């Protein structure tokens, strides 16, 4: 079998596997599939989170499985595994220069200096990571593809073909931005083949820089070469195999080997480095500029205060989320949590969580609520931004009884919009749906004189902040659906000591009567 076909089979397999995981990330189909496998294989995720958190979270250790072959063989990920690369390869072939005349294809695959942009992006993102702002997810291909599938493609397809991916239609705030961004990146393949992979991809840049050390490399025998440039015809990485190979750009697609009419090109263990350019061609001053931009991103983003005292009440994080600054160190915006959420409550934020928090998950109680006995988002999170907490730990029972439940926020009444409080109308749906026991929402019976002079007895609801866990089902089910009469805001969340509402964390047994204890 030709190696090109082996590669195509590999690409097809991984692309299908990626789509399969995306589709089965649904409560109906869950069987313990490793749905975050691609994210866990992604060494940029592991390395960048190791920089921000000084740890490698659970399954991220799998990234070694990808890092090691890269150190041996080069960027095989880009053209053998990466589903996003495959998407660009296929769309480029269909709509771009992939099927153009031979000469044009050769010209389209020559190296251009714009391809160093991805290294500047990587340097900027790593610089930001050293300050504690994890931004690789904006452009990391796996994060980007997962996010696009979750928020735009699957819900969009489900609108055209109802009930294919969701029992009930899902909605995602700002899906159109993410969707059009994907389309724009795909469309750029018309201008430059594999535009994203060659110009923007920070994972490609990372693997490219790593390739400097790989033992097996493409090697051209200058004695056999007849300078026909046919090796460029199908070169995916634009790595100049016709002259000095740019190892950092090479996707190891092997097309050049098969296209060479004189067998001058081979894949060799430890070839002579004189015949190639081993490291990425990035001038030092530009690298510094990339680093400074990353530092500025952190500085300006953090200075806006969104992760500190000026935090937005709508930034209600999923259960098990770590404290906000650490959240920004861990969340890669892959939106896997949003995909697995069974109620559609999780949404990609836009600017609610600040510049740094773009596309990180927040709860929107208009679209859903946090299901009491569910910790799927934490199970799916590959980086521990949402820790893999258990139901017992989430609800504060059993061994976790002393520390109490995990709270996401606190519900507050808006009396002016509440039917029994201001419209002489019985309601208390909120109390009915409140899932805690005892209920965090309770009501008091009052008899009032109606406008027409007749008495009416109804129940008026209250929130007990020591019991409220901020799940938001009260807000979700409130009959005042445009802006509910009870709304959850982020205050009171257990993950942050600074954002708690009650001194004792709402644990009613917290105040100890020490005077009764034996001294």
Residues at the interface with another protein (CB under 8 A)? 46, 50, 54-58, 61, 63-64, 67-68, 71-72, 210, 213-215, 219, 221, 223-224, 263, 266-273, 320-323, 378, 384, 387-389, 393, 400, 403, 406, 493-498, 500-504, 510-515, 519
Torsion sign over Cα 48, 51, 57, 60: positive
Give the bridge partners for 441, in sequence order.
463
Cβ proximity to another protein, 160 vs 514, nearer residue: 514
* 484 exposure class (CB count in 10 Å sphere: 0-12, 13-18, 19+): buried
Neighbours of 412 (CB within 10 A): 18
C-alpha angle 441-321-503 in degrees, rounded to nearest 5:
50
Instruction: Find where tokens 């073909």 sit.
Output: 161
Report the C-alpha gap between 464 and 482 in whole angstroms.
24
Report the C-alpha gap between 463 and 438 in whole angstroms.
12
- What token pair was written down for 32? 């313990």
Minimum CB distance to another protein, residue 66 (Å): 10
Cis peptide before 438 (omega within 30 of 0): yes
Q: What is the DSSP-derived secondary structure letter of residue 321?
A: B
Report the C-alpha gap between 374 and 360 in whole angstroms.
19
Cβ proximity to another protein, 108 vs 207, nearer residue: 207
Minimum CB distance to another protein, residue 331 (Å): 13
C-alpha angle 128-133-136 in degrees, rounded to nearest 5:
75
Cβ proximity to another protein, 317 vs 460, nearer residue: 317
Cβ proximity to another protein, 309 vs 454, nearer residue: 309
Minimum CB distance to another protein, residue 175 (Å): 28
Cβ proximity to another protein, 387 vs 443, nearer residue: 387
Minimum CB distance to another protein, residue 274 (Å): 9
Cβ proximity to another protein, 320 vs 472, nearer residue: 320
Q: Give the 3-state secondary structure of residue 219.
A: strand
Closest to 253 measured CA to CA, from 127, 93, 412, 429: 93
> To the nearest 10°, the Cα dihedral for 175, 180, 185, 188?
170
Minimum CB distance to another protein, residue 71 (Å): 5
For residue 485, give every residue at least 6 positions away whose Cβ sits within 8 Å of its Cβ, in sequence order, or none. 413, 414, 415, 417, 418, 419, 421, 478
Minimum CB distance to another protein, residue 324 (Å): 10
For residue 439, give every residue at least 6 positions away whose Cβ sits within 8 Å of its Cβ, in sequence order, or none. 431, 467
Minimum CB distance to another protein, residue 391 (Å): 12
- What token pair was written down for 74? 């080069």
- What token pair was written down for 134? 């994890």
Minimum CB distance to another protein, residue 410 (Å): 13
Cβ proximity to another protein, 101 vs 513, nearer residue: 513
Cβ proximity to another protein, 46 vs 106, nearer residue: 46
Cβ proximity to another protein, 173 vs 400, nearer residue: 400
Neighbours of 415 (CB within 10 A): 11
Cβ proximity to another protein, 114 vs 397, nearer residue: 397
Cβ proximity to another protein, 408 vs 427, nearer residue: 408
* 163 exposure class (CB count in 10 Å sphere: 0-12, 13-18, 19+): exposed
Report the C-alpha gap between 433 and 477 in whole angstroms.
8
Report the C-alpha gap between 357 and 16 in whole angstroms.
30
């Amino acid at each position: 079998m030709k190696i090109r076909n082996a590669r195509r089979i590999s690409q097809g397999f991984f692309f299908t596997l990626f789509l399969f995981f995306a589709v089965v990330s649904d409560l109906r189909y869950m069987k313990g599939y490793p749905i975050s496998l691609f994210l866990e294989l992604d060494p940029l995720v592991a390395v960048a989170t190791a920089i921000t958190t000084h740890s490698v979270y659970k399954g991220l250790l799998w990234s070694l499985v990808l890092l090691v072959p890269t150190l041996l063989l080069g960027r095989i990920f880009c053209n053998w595994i990466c589903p996003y690369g495959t998407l660009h390869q296929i769309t480029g072939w269909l709509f771009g220069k992939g099927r153009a005349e031979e000469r044009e294809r050769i010209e389209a695959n020559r190296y251009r200096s714009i391809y160093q942009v991805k290294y500047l992006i990587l340097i900027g993102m790593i610089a930001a990571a050293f300050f504690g702002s994890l931004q690789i997810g904006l452009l990391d291909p796996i994060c980007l593809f997962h996010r696009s599938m979750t928020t735009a493609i699957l819900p969009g397809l489900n609108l055209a073909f109802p009930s294919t991916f969701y029992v009930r239609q899902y909605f995602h705030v700002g899906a159109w931005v993410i969707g059009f961004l994907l389309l724009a990146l795909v469309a750029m393949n018309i201008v430059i083949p594999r535009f994203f992979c060659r110009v923007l991809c920070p994972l490609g840049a990372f693997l490219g820089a790593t390739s400097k050390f790989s033992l097996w490399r493409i090697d051209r025998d200058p004695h056999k070469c007849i300078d026909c440039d046919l090796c460029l015809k199908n070169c995916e990485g634009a790595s100049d195999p016709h002259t000095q190979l740019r190892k950092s750009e090479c996707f190891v697609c092997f097309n050049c080997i098969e296209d060479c009419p004189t067998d001058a090109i081979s894949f060799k263990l430890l070839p002579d480095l004189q015949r190639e350019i081993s490291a990425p061609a990035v001038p030092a001053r530009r690298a510094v500029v990339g680093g400074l931009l990353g530092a500025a991103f952190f500085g300006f983003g953090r200075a806006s205060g969104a992760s500190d005292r000026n935090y937005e009440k709508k930034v209600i994080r999923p259960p098990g989320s770590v404290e906000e600054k650490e959240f920004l160190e861990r969340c890669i915006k892959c939106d896997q949590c949003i995909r697995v959420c069974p109620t559609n409550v999780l949404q990609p934020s836009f600017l609610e969580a600040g510049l740094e928090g773009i596309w990180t998950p927040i709860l929107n109680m208009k679209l859903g609520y946090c299901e009491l006995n569910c910790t799927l988002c934490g199970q799916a999170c590959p980086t521990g931004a949402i820790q893999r907490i258990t139901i017992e730990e989430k609800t504060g029972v059993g061994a976790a009884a002393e520390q109490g439940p995990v709270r996401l926020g606190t519900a507050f009444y808006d009396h002016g919009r509440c039917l029994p409080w201001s419209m002489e109308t019985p309601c208390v749906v909120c109390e009915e749906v409140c899932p805690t026991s005892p209920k965090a929402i309770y009501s008091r019976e009052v008899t009032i004189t109606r406008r027409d002079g007749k008495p009416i007895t109804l129940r008026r609801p209250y929130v007990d902040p020591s019991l409220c866990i901020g799940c938001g089902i009260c807000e979700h089910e409130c009959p005042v659906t445009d802006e509910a009469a009870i709304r959850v805001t982020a205050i009171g969340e257990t993950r942050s000591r600074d954002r708690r509402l009650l001194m004792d964390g709402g644990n009613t047994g917290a105040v100890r009567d020490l005077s009764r204890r034996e001294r």
